[in-house]
Structure 1
Amino acid sequence: MNQLPAADPAAQPLPYDPYDEISLVDVARVIWRHRRAALAALLVVIVAAVAVAFLAPKKYRYSTTIELGSRIEDGRSVPIEAPETALAKLEESYVPQERHRYLEAHPGVDETFAIKVRAPKGSQLVVLESTAHAEDGPAYRLIQQRVVQALVADHARVFEDQRREVALEKKGAERDLQTLVDRESVLKARIERLKGTAQLLEQQIADTRGLIEDATANRSRAVAEARDEARAMTLLMLDNEVRENRKRLADLQQQLQIGLADERDTLQSALQENQRNQVLQQAEVQRLDQQLKNLKQTRAVVLGMKSLKPVGISRSLIVVLGVVLGVLMALLVPLVLEFFGRVRGGLDSVSPGDEITGPLS
């Protein structure tokens, strides 16, 4: 049978020794033994934190708020350019360009002039933000101002195109409105002339009736005196005249009561339609005029505004963090000193002639 190899005694686990555990009492003794170093570490860290809190230069936030130009479309405000597009232009072009221009003009300046660009969600605003010392504030304001000018100049072209387009639409609407007004005058004039035509027809009807009455009276006399062919011919002519006048009277009455009334109704309907169209066209002109007034150019709402209070970690928080770090250092320094003390003591206990026996591996 194959025999298993003997276990290596060096590989056997060491027996449990309760004294190998870390005791809080021992830690406390170590700290007490090195209490001066612990206290010194605590005071050094706290003093350093207080010095940083009160001696470090303060930083302020310099912000510029830009309102993008807009127009009214379907009753809602639409920006001239999408905030995302304006944001990309600022981040990729205008901010680096103006920062580079300023650094070229001031070669001795070592400031990076970091400017953060953001667009608040659901708004037509773009915000430029920088954090800088008070002495660097004018430079940041100047760079942000130049960035705003570059964006405004870019949007001015789009604004002018849209303004011109709306102005042309307004002129066309005003021209159409004037055409309707002129047409209204023509319709009213034609309706007014119908009154004169009606009066003329009424006069002609009255005259025709007079002729019929005269012819009827003459016919009655001619009938009484109709004893020869000449008088019979006169009677026949009178009968023809009466018939023609009665026919003419019927035509005149029909023209007055039907034809003229139909023409008046047609003109009156056209006039009412014209007036309704005028109301609609006036509303269109007003809409375009309001749209023209509501066109807004891109502008800076706030330019390089300095925050009222310094930004960053407050002095009290720095002091509190310093105290916490000081306590940790006060706990750590004694342990480190104790460790190096024991290592140095162990090395001192070994004589130069002692050899290390035992396997190397």
Structure 2
Amino acid sequence: MSTKDTPTPPQPIGRGPYDDEISLVDLWKVLARRKWWILSVTVAVFFLGTAYGVFHTPSYSYQTTIQLGQDSQGNRIDDPEVTVSFLNDVLIPGIWRDLLADADDVKLPEARARHTEGTEYVHLTTSAPLHRQESVEQLHSLTVRALRREHNLLIDDVRARLDDQRRTTELEHQAQLADLQNELEIIEERKVRATAQFELLEEERFLLEEQIEDLHPLRHQLDSAISDTDQQSAPLWTMMPMASITEMRFSAERRLRTQIPDQINEVQQRLTELENAAQRIQSEIEREQARHDMRVAALKRDEERIRETTARGSAYALASDTPDGPGRSLFAALSLVLGLLLGIFGAFFREFLANARAAEDA
């Protein structure tokens, strides 16, 4: 065998004056000797990665946004973090097990809940291929309905408390109106009696004035009859004492001038007081009605603030526009880089094994 045909054993890397020194030239020589190995590994990994990217079924992100309900004060019906824990630990696993028991497919998609900090929204997220969209929608819809049932129990309690407040307010209002109406009726009855008394006093005053007017000619006739002794009726007039006529006139005038006016003034004052009291009670009735209307309006606003937990949007499990993960071009680029790295690593490893065997043979 000639010297030309004798293979040259591989030279160890980094052999020289300093054993711990790495020579870039030696590294380049290794890469040059193992270039076909590096190329083969790179091409193999590139084609494998590209084929995986081409034939791999892409997964899409499905999301359902849940808006949490709120109570009559505008507060969340439940703490979002508690709701997320309840969904992830209790509700979603239970629904998933029920669906798995009824389905032939053992690869049902799963869902996870998360809360966006500072908002009232909880998001259900699932990653699945497009052909599983119906299963994802079923899972999300059942989850939302189950959560609505749980939260509606809390909302029903809030509405029941509002109904109790409304009934209590209505009963208190009716009782207050009944008391005021009773007082107003009593005052009206007193006004009727006072008015009747006033009319009687006015009638009495009119009669007294007529009586006094009738006593004046009677006295003149009596005086004429007493002075005219020739009249045949003189004995009849003399039978009526003058003192009786005077006393009747004095009594009538005293009643007319002093007692009747005082009693009329007293009745008029009483009527004025009763009228003022009636107006005061009527104003109180109007204020009570206004206060009641305000309380009812406030309760109505509280009821309008109540909002049930619901899914936002017109459909459950809205799919993302683009698939999750890297696309085909990214798969190809990553495969090329990974294949090159694996080829270089394999080249140096094969060089290491060749040097090790050469050292043993030496």
* Structure 1 partner of 2:127: 131
* Structure 1 partner of 2:49: 49
In the TM superposition, 1:114-129 aligns within 5 A as 114-129=110-125
| Contact map agreement 1:72 1:294 (CA 8 A) in 2 | yes
The range that moved more, 93-102 or 146-155, is 146-155
- Residue 96 (structure 2) pairs with residue 83 (structure 1): no
- For the residue of structure 1 that corresponds to 2:317, the secondary structure is strand
| Contact map agreement 1:218 1:238 (CA 8 A) in 2 | no
- Residue 308 (structure 2) pairs with residue 312 (structure 1): no
| Contact map agreement 2:194 2:270 (CA 8 A) in 1 | no
| Contact map agreement 1:167 1:292 (CA 8 A) in 2 | no
> Match for 2:283: what amino acid?
Q
- For the residue of structure 2 that corresponds to 1:303, the secondary structure is coil
| Contact map agreement 1:71 1:295 (CA 8 A) in 2 | yes
> Match for 2:264: what amino acid?
L
Cα distance in 2 for partners of 1:239, 1:84 equals 99
* Structure 1 partner of 2:288: 277
| Contact map agreement 2:205 2:260 (CA 8 A) in 1 | no
- Residue 325 (structure 2) pairs with residue 338 (structure 1): no
Residue 31 of structure 1 deviates from its aligned partner by 0.7
* Residues 276-331 of structure 1: CA deviation (Å, up to 9, x unaligned): 22112112222323433443332233522222211123334333333332332343
Cα distance in 2 for partners of 1:336, 1:184 equals 104
Cα distance in 2 for partners of 1:192, 1:81 equals 56
Residue 183 of structure 1 deviates from its aligned partner by 7.1
- Residue 262 (structure 2) pairs with residue 250 (structure 1): yes
Residue 203 of structure 1 deviates from its aligned partner by 4.4
> Match for 2:53: what amino acid?
A
- For the residue of structure 2 that corresponds to 1:78, the secondary structure is coil
* Structure 2 partner of 1:354: none
The range that moved more, 206-215 or 128-137, is 206-215
Cα distance in 2 for partners of 1:251, 1:294 equals 62
The runs of 5 or more residues in structure 2 that have no matched partner are 1-15, 227-237
* Structure 2 partner of 1:169: 165
Cα distance in 1 for partners of 2:46, 2:272 equals 107
Query: Which of 91, 95, 98 pairs up with 1:98?
Result: 95
Cα distance in 1 for partners of 2:359, 2:18 equals 22
Cα distance in 1 for partners of 2:21, 2:124 equals 58
Cα distance in 2 for partners of 1:81, 1:242 equals 88
Cα distance in 1 for partners of 2:347, 2:83 equals 58
Residue 222 of structure 1 deviates from its aligned partner by 7.1
* Residues 202-242 of structure 1: CA deviation (Å, up to 9, x unaligned): 64454344345345545666777678882112212321222
> Match for 2:288: what amino acid?
N
Cα distance in 2 for partners of 1:120, 1:220 equals 107
> Match for 1:55: what amino acid?
F
> Match for 1:101: what amino acid?
D
> Match for 2:307: what amino acid?
K
> Match for 2:159: what amino acid?
R
| Contact map agreement 2:65 2:311 (CA 8 A) in 1 | yes
- For the residue of structure 1 that corresponds to 2:116, the secondary structure is coil
| Contact map agreement 1:205 1:253 (CA 8 A) in 2 | no
Which TM-score applies when normalising by structure 1? Answer: 0.77
Cα distance in 2 for partners of 1:232, 1:20 equals 162
| Contact map agreement 1:53 1:318 (CA 8 A) in 2 | yes
* Structure 2 partner of 1:65: 65
Cα distance in 2 for partners of 1:144, 1:187 equals 63
Cα distance in 2 for partners of 1:316, 1:184 equals 85
> Match for 1:295: what amino acid?
I
In the TM superposition, 1:295-306 aligns within 5 A as 295-301=306-312, 302-306=315-319
* Structure 1 partner of 2:241: 230
Cα distance in 1 for partners of 2:195, 2:290 equals 34
| Contact map agreement 2:184 2:281 (CA 8 A) in 1 | no
- For the residue of structure 2 that corresponds to 1:157, the secondary structure is helix
> Match for 1:59: what amino acid?
S
- Residue 345 (structure 2) pairs with residue 348 (structure 1): no
Q: Which has the larger radius of gyration?
A: 2
Which TM-score applies when normalising by structure 2? Answer: 0.77
* Structure 2 partner of 1:323: 336
Cα distance in 1 for partners of 2:208, 2:192 equals 24
Cα distance in 1 for partners of 2:86, 2:341 equals 49
* Structure 2 partner of 1:359: none
Change in Cα spacing, 1:84 to 1:20, as seen in structure 2 (3 Å) is closer
The runs of 5 or more residues in structure 1 that have no matched partner are 1-15, 350-361
Aligned length: 329
| Contact map agreement 2:66 2:121 (CA 8 A) in 1 | yes
Change in Cα spacing, 1:177 to 1:272, as seen in structure 2 (3 Å) is same
CA RMSD for the aligned pairs? 3.3
In the TM superposition, 1:134-153 aligns within 5 A as 134-153=130-149
Residue 60 of structure 1 deviates from its aligned partner by 0.9
Cα distance in 1 for partners of 2:77, 2:18 equals 78
